């Protein structure tokens, strides 16, 4: 596909900058690209060249044009379309859609097999809504399948409307014209056999919207049971079953499927279109009504279902009756509001200029379905506005339109010393004034005034018969004007990345009011950026905020919960923060900390670097000045040696970062790609606050394709010699070199370094001896009596029991290992949650050694999930590797195991990176991925080029695998 990539880049480069291939299906290849004009990521889809020649290009583009008119919350829109080299025999159609940050339903099914019933019904219902709308516009999808249902923020987005029909019509039209029978001579019918309706499979001219209903019914059956309704060795056998076989019953495969839901699925999958629901809207209604039905049939079930439907109808009628406009609790233009900075004048109210953006946003967010534009995005645009304009209403309306708001709030805060007056106007972005409010009161009751102002504005746009909600920001934050003032000053500094000033202001706020939970939370966030991940001040500040979390608004309370788990290094933080951004998709800090959790906890929950980078891209699109988000993109680009991504991130980074930070990145790039910096330059960079960045560059040597054991060790020797000669750095440098030497099979060479490392502290060298024995590539006699001596130095603790269990299990003594695990766990909470998790995972390893893979994997998962703290990654590396090996050895979990091996072992201070290449080669070969397997085996051979003679058997096995895969003899 490199030729097609080059053609696209040459033909479309001025409009779309291609980045990488993101996926491929039966009809199209998908590339991630950057829309140059609109500065956004997009998915550029190209019809496969082998199919393109059989299409009528004009007909194809007309169908895509019809699909582009669809506008629905659950339909992925078409941005653009065209044909590459149009008018030539090699023309290839293409179209552009948003690049969805998430996964497809297929990916989720591969991961979970079957979904919770509520999730399955929700996703199917959202897909049905999208299809019902499309059908009213005269568009039938024709290829509904899990691959074409994308999941964005937990919601369904249907992709590729028009593509199947375009390909089908193009093929049929050309065949009828006698010009290109390439597709139809194969019995061509567009769709996927497992989800294709019988009438579509037979090429019937009667294919209509009910074909989509059949396909969605098949998808829902798979979500509930883990498999499509019909499977077979050939497409023909699947199609034959769809036409003649009884419809499979989901409840027989899954007992908790409600009987009514099963009936809905079976009806949707009826072989005769006339027996299905009359339309997609009816299918969607029946689907939702079935959600709470009983799990067994019978007359009682039917009566309960009827009663439930009656209640739903009654509630729906009551709900509609409360909406004067039919659907809106507030005027439609007020559903998205941008609150702009107030004009502030008089003593003591200057902080209310930007402060009112925060305070009004907090009060109005979520009320009656209102969404307030994220304050940081508002203020970024406010600062960038043209100074030549008059600053009046027209400029405010233009800014509101730019922010995607339906309305804007303009206001003023005026102080006379003892009293404050707040006034505000709410304008639709088209110019209509929707509301006006003015309140005044004592200067020491500003928050109460904000509550009154909010309610008065809300009253003018309220369309529901329900009473106005009670807005009380004053009860959720602080009663102290001095604390509020300090907090708002901190917010101003925080937005400008002036962390020292922000910390001073937030600290002053909690000195005045120690129960001010928002100020505690902000201190935790600032400490996280300045003191490092997992720093004690950050953890302490988050804990203080948590004590007063009941005073926070629900949104901030949720964020604090996720942040606290993240600071503690618990993998549960990922799910918590993902749920937060799903509920609050416009919350910039939520997305930032979701990315932070994925980045820092990727050793416990491995994901691809592209997935993490995409989340930080989302943050940076809203505010490119968030330097920490760019730093992590640079970290990943260096670690995975992605120079193109690095250069893109540097362009943003260099606009905002300080000279000192830019210098550190220059050093890092020099180490990774050359030229290598001078010793003094490297030492200076290591003393900076971001001194860990060059260390990441040193560790990226593992992923350099030309790296050998000598080049790896030469770079590590240089880093140890050139770096700052502090005791801490010298220990880390020696440990990295020792473990690298061990990991490349040069065990005898490593032993003197093991002794040096052991002299620096008890336990520092234990892994360098025990690890190779546990993995079976070193004999039990490796290291002589060193391991026993090291273990004897350890005081009685959970760590000692873990080390001794490791000692027994590495020699195959399952009973001895489990005895030590039990003794360690008997110490209870005194050993901490991380060591408890390590011991549980060790018991899982014992199960693997004993031959019980299922129990071993389950215990390893449970134990590793309990590991926490910044050091949890390096401590649990061996056990995580055992889990990865077990997962990759089983066909049903191989993809997950490969993901662990690819992205779960980036800590260069362990001996595992070279061994992951060998394990990846074996896993990819078993999966039939020959090119990937050959690459991995080749990397292992290069890194084990000087392994000790007794270990050369592994190298020979890898060379033999390369010969199998490439049919080329490997030189010794």
Q: What's the rounded Cα separation, in Å, for the pair 652 and 672?
A: 20
Q: What's the rounded Cα separation, in Å, for the pair 149 and 427?
A: 38
Q: Identify the H or E element spanning 55.
A: none
Q: Could you identify the residue written with the tokens 């939520």?
A: 590
- 767, 797 in Cβ contact below 8 A? no
Q: Which two tokens stand for residue 266?
A: 């079976």
- 91, 57 in Cβ contact below 8 A? yes
- 76, 159 in Cβ contact below 8 A? yes
The pairing of strands 155-158 and 149-152 is: antiparallel
Q: Could you identify the residue written with the tokens 């027996």?
A: 275
Q: Which residues pair with 23 in a beta bridge?
A: 30
- 782, 770 in Cβ contact below 8 A? no
Render 583-610 in DSSP notation, one character per residue.
Answer: H-TT-HHHHHHHHHHHHHTTTTS---HH
Q: Which two tokens stand for residue 197?
A: 């309706």
Q: Is 404 left (phi over 0), alpha (psi -120 to 50) or beta?
A: left
N-term to C-term CA, the chain: 33
Q: Given the residues 143, 174, 358, 843, select the one marked as catalytic.
A: 143
Q: What's the rounded Cα separation, in Å, for the pair 384 and 118?
A: 45
Closest CA to 421 of 405, 442, 403: 442
Print burial letters for 217-228: b (CB count within 10 Å at least 16), e (below 16).
bbbbbbbbbeeb
- Cα distances (angstroms) measured from residue 680 to each of 672, 685, 700, 818: 17, 9, 21, 50
963 burial class (0-12, 13-18, 19+ CB within 10 angstroms)? middle
Q: Give the number of other Cβ atoms within 10 Å of residue 465's Cβ.
A: 11
Q: Is 143 a catalytic residue?
A: yes
46 contacts: CB under 8 Å, gap ≥ 6: 4, 8, 28, 29, 30, 31, 84, 92, 93, 94
Three-class DSSP category at 428? strand
Q: Catalytic amino acids?
A: 143
């Amino acid at each position: 596909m490199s030729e097609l990539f080059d053609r696209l880049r040459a033909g479309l480069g001025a409009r779309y900058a291609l980045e990488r291939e993101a996926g491929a299906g039966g009809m199209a290849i998908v590339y991630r690209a950057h829309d140059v004009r609109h500065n956004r990521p997009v998915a550029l889809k190209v019809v496969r060249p082998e199919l393109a020649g059989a299409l009528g290009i004009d007909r194809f583009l007309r169908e895509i044009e019809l699909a582009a008119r669809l506008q629905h919350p659950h339909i992925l829109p078409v941005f653009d379309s065209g044909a590459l080299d149009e008018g030539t025999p090699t023309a290839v159609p293409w179209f552009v859609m948003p690049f969805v940050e998430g996964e497809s339903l297929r990916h989720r099914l591969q991961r979970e097999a079957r979904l919770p019933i509520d999730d399955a019904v929700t996703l199917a219902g959202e897909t049905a809504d999208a299809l019902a709308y499309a059908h009213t516009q005269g568009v039938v999808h024709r290829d509904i399948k899990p691959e074409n249902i994308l999941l964005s923020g937990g919601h369904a987005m249907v992709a590729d409307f028009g593509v199947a029909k375009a390909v089908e019509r193009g093929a049929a039209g050309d065949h009828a014209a006698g010009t290109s029978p390439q597709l139809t001579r194969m019995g061509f019918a567009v769709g996927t056999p497992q989800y294709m309706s019988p009438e579509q499979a037979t090429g019937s001219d009667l294919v209509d919207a009910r074909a989509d209903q059949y396909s969605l019914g098949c998808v829902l059956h798979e979500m509930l049971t883990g498999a499509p309704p019909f499977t077979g060795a050939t497409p023909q056998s699947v199609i034959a079953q769809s036409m003649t076989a009884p419809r499979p019953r989901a409840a027989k495969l899954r007992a908790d499927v409600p009987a009514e839901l099963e009936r809905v699925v079976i009806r949707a999958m009826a072989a005769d279109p006339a027996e299905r629901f009359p339309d997609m809207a009816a299918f969607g209604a029946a689907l939702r009504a079935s959600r709470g039905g009983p799990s067994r049939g019978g007359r009682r079930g039917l009566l309960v279902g009827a009663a439930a439907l009656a209640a739903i109808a009654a509630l729906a009628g009551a709900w509609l009756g409360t909406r004067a406009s039919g659907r809106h609790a507030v005027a439609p233009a007020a559903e998205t509001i941008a609150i702009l900075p107030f004009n502030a004048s008089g003593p003591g109210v200057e902080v209310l200029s930007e402060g009112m953006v925060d305070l009004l946003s907090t009060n109005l967010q979520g009320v009656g379905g209102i969404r307030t534009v994220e304050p940081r995005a508002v203020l970024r645009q406010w600062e960038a506005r043209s100074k030549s304009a008059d600053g009046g209403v027209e400029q405010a309306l233009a800014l509101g339109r730019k922010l995607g708001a339906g309305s804007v709030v303009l206001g003023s805060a005026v102080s006379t010393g003892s009293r404050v007056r707040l006034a505000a106007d709410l304008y639709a972005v088209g110019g209509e004034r929707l509301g006006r409010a003015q309140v005044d009161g004592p200067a020491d009751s500003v928050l109460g005034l904000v509550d009154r102002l909010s309610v008065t504005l809300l009253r003018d746009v309220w369309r529901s018969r329900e009473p106005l909600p009670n807005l009380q920001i004053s009860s959720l934050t602080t009663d102290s004007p001095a604390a509020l003032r300090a907090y708002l000053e901190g917010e101003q500094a925080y937005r400008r990345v002036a962390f020292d000033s922000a910390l001073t202001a937030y600290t002053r706020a909690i000195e005045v009011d120690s129960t001010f939970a928002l100020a505690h939370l902000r201190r935790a966030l600032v400490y996280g950026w300045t003191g490092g991940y997992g720093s004690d001040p950050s953890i302490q500040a988050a804990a203080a905020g948590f004590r007063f979390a009941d005073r926070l608004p629900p949104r901030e309370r949720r964020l604090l919960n996720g942040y606290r788990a993240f600071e503690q290094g618990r993998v549960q933080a990922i799910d918590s923060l993902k749920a937060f951004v799903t509920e609050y998709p416009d919350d910039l800090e939520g997305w930032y900390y979701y990315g932070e959790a994925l980045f820092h906890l990727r050793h416990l929950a491995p994901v691809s670097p592209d997935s993490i980078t995409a989340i930080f891209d989302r943050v940076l699109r809203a505010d490119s000045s968030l330097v920490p988000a760019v730093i992590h993109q640079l970290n990943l680009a260096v670690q995975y040696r992605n120079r193109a991504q690095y250069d893109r991130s540097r362009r943003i980074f260099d606009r905002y970062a300080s000279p000192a930070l830019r210098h550190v990145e220059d050093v890092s790039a020099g180490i990774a790609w050359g030229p290598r910096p001078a010793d003094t330059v490297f030492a200076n960079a290591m003393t900076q606050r971001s001194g860990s960045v060059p260390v990441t560059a040193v560790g990226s040597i593992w992923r350099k394709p030309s790296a050998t054991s000598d080049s790896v060790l030469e770079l590590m020797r240089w880093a140890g010699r050139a770096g700052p000669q502090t005791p801490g750095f010298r220990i880390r440098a020696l440990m990295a070199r020792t473990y690298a030497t061990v990991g490349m099979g040069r065990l005898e060479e490593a032993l003197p370094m093991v002794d040096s490392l052991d002299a620096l502290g008890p336990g520092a060298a234990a892994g360098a001896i025990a690890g190779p024995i546990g993995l079976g590539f070193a004999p039990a006699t490796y290291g002589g009596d060193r391991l026993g001596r090291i273990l004897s130095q350890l005081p009685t603790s959970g760590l000692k029991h873990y080390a001794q269990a490791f000692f027994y299990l590495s020699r195959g003594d399952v009973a001895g290992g489990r005895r030590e695990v039990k003794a360690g766990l008997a110490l209870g909470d005194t050993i901490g949650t991380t060591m408890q998790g390590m011991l549980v995972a060790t018991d899982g390893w014992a199960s693997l050694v004993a031959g019980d893979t299922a129990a071993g994997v389950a215990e390893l998962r449970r134990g590793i999930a309990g590991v926490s703290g910044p050091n949890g990654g390096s401590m649990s590396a061996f056990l995580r590797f055992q889990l990865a090996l077990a997962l990759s050895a089983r066909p049903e979990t191989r993809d997950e195991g490969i993901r662990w091996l690819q992205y779960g072992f980036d800590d260069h201070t362990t001996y595992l990176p070279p061994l992951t290449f060998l394990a990846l080669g074996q896993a990819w070969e078993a999966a039939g991925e020959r090119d990937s397997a050959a690459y991995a085996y080749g990397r292992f051979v290069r890194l084990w080029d000087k392994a000790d003679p007794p270990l050369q058997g592994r190298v020979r096995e890898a060379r033999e695998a390369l010969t199998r895969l490439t049919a080329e003899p490997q030189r010794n």
